[in-house]
Chains A and B, each alone.
Chain A
Amino acid sequence: MGRRAHFLIFGTLAAAVASVYALSGDAREDGPSASAPPGKARSPGAAEPGGGALRAEVSAMRGAVQQLGRTNASLQRDLDRAAAERAAADAAREAASETARVEAEDPTAPDREASEMASRSDAKLRGEPVDKGWSREKHEQIAAFFARPPLTGTKLEAVDCRTTMCRVQLAHASNDDRKRFIQSFSDLAGPTGMVFAHIEAADDLEIEVYVTRDGVALP
């Protein structure tokens, strides 16, 4: 329950008690003046005109205070229930958010991050001029790589080498051929270059591979 609610409840109670106290005081002070003229003492056993009405009023106020106490307890219970429900709702929302986050990284989910990296690589490649010497050298290296006997099930569809990166399009005959290629694909780059095989789905046989020049990181 919030602090503000506490203040409200106790403030209401305090106001009610103060009102009862003030009314009681009025009754005590106003009683004699209403029943006797000023300066004249009232006899002890004399009946007080209007005293019964005041007692009834005080009694009613006490009843009102008790009712306020009960209302306060009821409000307290409502606030506690609301706070518990809010906490449960927050916990459920957090759990749902965590589930969504884990599901987003599920192995069966599309490889979004890889797709974005492929897009960045394509954009970078498109913006590069062609370094003829390096491009020719990489074309020869890539052709020699795919001439290896274990890679006969992989067809080299296209190669585009520019200044810092190559894009290689491949078609594999089977998943086993793709696995054999992945096992050795780091040989496509030099010791300080990088290779990225963009594979969208588990049965994707037509893939793109990005190879960077030595010392150049993938975008």
Chain B
Amino acid sequence: MNIRNAIFAQASLCAAVLASPGIAAASNNYPGFQCIALSGAVQPDSNGHIQNNSTAAATLLCPVSVDAGESGLASSGTPLVFVTDQNFDANVCCSSRVKNTGQSVVSGGSACSSGTNAGSQSLTLTNPATPGGNFTFTHRWLQCDLPPVFSGQASEIRTYRY
């Protein structure tokens, strides 16, 4: 094999590895205040978290950046949410969702916090399958339910990783 062939073979191997759908894209960290309320009322705080200080539960949608060329299941990683649950009656529950341009929605099952404390809990979410694989307009997001304030203590989403 001459040098040109060797270089070509190396380049082909690199291209094949980079193009492989089995290689997961790097995860990104997002501050909780990226989430917006689908229902209820929430406020960001100076730590970059998002809190529910109201007396009603809130449902939040947290955006996830999806590269149009890598929008399929294999490259989307494992979503992780760091939350604070300070409500004794209800938990913080989150799911990871995906949708293409049609009407159908696919969701991973809900993962919920347990117990009640002022510290952080992490929720590992199941990444849902994309119907049919990669599509140009596949979009993903996390959905979380934040319980209402309890004895003056607010529950919150601190940060999330995708």
Contacts and interface: CB of A to CB of B under 8 A. Distances in A.
Given A105-B137, A114-B102, A187 B93 contact: yes
Contacts of B126: 189, 191-194
Contact of B103 (A106, A189, A200): A200
Given A116-B132, A117-B132, A107 B101 contact: yes
Contacts, number: 114
A113 interface: yes
A31 B162 CA distance: 94
Given A113-B132, A183-B38, A193-B109, A105 B103 contact: no
Q: Which residue among B97, B102, B137, B143 has the maximum number of chain A CB atoms within 10 Å of its CB?
A: B102
Interface string A87-128: 000000000000001100111011111101100000000000
Interface in A110-168: 110-114, 116-117
A83 interface: no
B100 A186 contact: no
A182 to B, nearest CB: 6
A102 B101 CA distance: 11
Given A105-B137, A189-B109, A218-B129, A111 B97 contact: no
Interface string B125-158: 1101101110111000001000000000000000
B37 interface: no
A102 B152 CA distance: 51
A217 interface: yes
Interface string A177-219: 0000011011111111111111111101000000000100110
A189 B131 contact: no
Interface residues of A, number: 37
B102 A194 contact: no
A195 B102 contact: no
Nearest to A120: B131
B44 interface: no
A189 B104 contact: no
Contact of B143 (A102, A186, A218): A186
Nearest to B59: A183
A24 to B, nearest CB: 50
B136 A113 contact: no
A111 B104 CA distance: 7
A186 B110 CA distance: 5
Contacts of B124: 191
A186 B108 contact: yes
A142 to B, nearest CB: 13
B109 A196 contact: no
Contacts of B103: 111, 114, 199-202, 204
16 contacts: A105-B135, A113-B102, A114-B103, A185-B107, A189-B109, A189-B110, A192-B108, A192-B109, A192-B126, A194-B126, A195-B128, A196-B131, A199-B102, A199-B105, A218-B106, A218-B129
Interface of A: 101-102, 105-107, 109-114, 116-117, 182-183, 185-202, 204, 214, 217-218
